[in-house]
Structure 1
Amino acid sequence: MYNASARIEHESWLEELERIADRLELSSEARSTAADLFLANVPESDRSKRAMLAASVYAGSLVASDGRTQCAVADAADVSRLSIQQRWKDLLEDAGLEPPKW
């Protein structure tokens, strides 16, 4: 969980999340879920923040049934697909959600 000040502290990252979501044409539910996932798991280093942001967008799109591929999200977020692949399941599990078992 995160506190309200986290939205202010990480406002620039949330703006970046919106830019990524715009590129992917994500629903408002996917955007909101992605923001919640990101704010609940913000890493310390800026380099890790971009990867966590991308993983949050990917996971948020899955939760909202507005799924995008890892490759599409990675391209939109300018990270590697591996960065998303390594983080998204843990994000969902930490939020108390069960990742899909394809």
Structure 2
Amino acid sequence: MYRASDHREHEEWLEEIERAADALELDGTARSRAVDLFLTTVPDDDRSKRSALAASLYVGALVSGQERSQTAVADAADVSRLTIQQRWKDLLEEAGLEAPDW
């Protein structure tokens, strides 16, 4: 879980989530899930924050029924598709969520 002060501390990253979510045309549910996932699992290392952001967006969209391709999310978040591919399943599991049945 995260603290309310985490919103202020990571405001720059949350703005990045919003920017990428706009590019992906995600609704409020997916955005909210992405923010919650990011703030719950935000790494200390700044280099890892962008990949956490991208994985949070991908999983947030996935579990809210607004699936986007890994490539689309990677482009919107300015990471490689491989970054999302390597992180999303662990993030999903950490959050206690399940991927939809395809």
TM range, normalised to the smaller chain? Answer: over 0.9
% identical aligned pairs: 69
TM-score (norm 2): 0.95
Q: Which runs of 5+ in 2 are unaligned?
A: none
* Mapping 1:55-70, distance limit 5 Å: 55-70=55-70
* CA distance in structure 1 between the aligned counterparts of 2:39 and 2:17, rounded to whole angstroms: 11
Structural mapping, 1:40-59, within 5 Å? 40-59=40-59
Runs of 5+ in structure 1 lacking a partner? none
One-letter amino acid of the counterpart of residue 53, structure 1 = L
Instruction: Find the aligned partners of 1:89 and 1:30 in 2 and give their Cα distance.
Output: 17
Q: Which runs of 4+ in 1 moved over 2 A?
A: 99-102
Q: TM-score, normalised by structure 1?
A: 0.95
Deviations 1:42-100 (CA, angstroms, capped at 9, x unpaired): 01111110011000000000011001000000011110011111111111111111234
1: CA distance between counterparts of 2:44 and 2:81?
21
Aligned length: 102
1:1-102 equivalence runs, <5 A: 1-100=1-100, 102=102
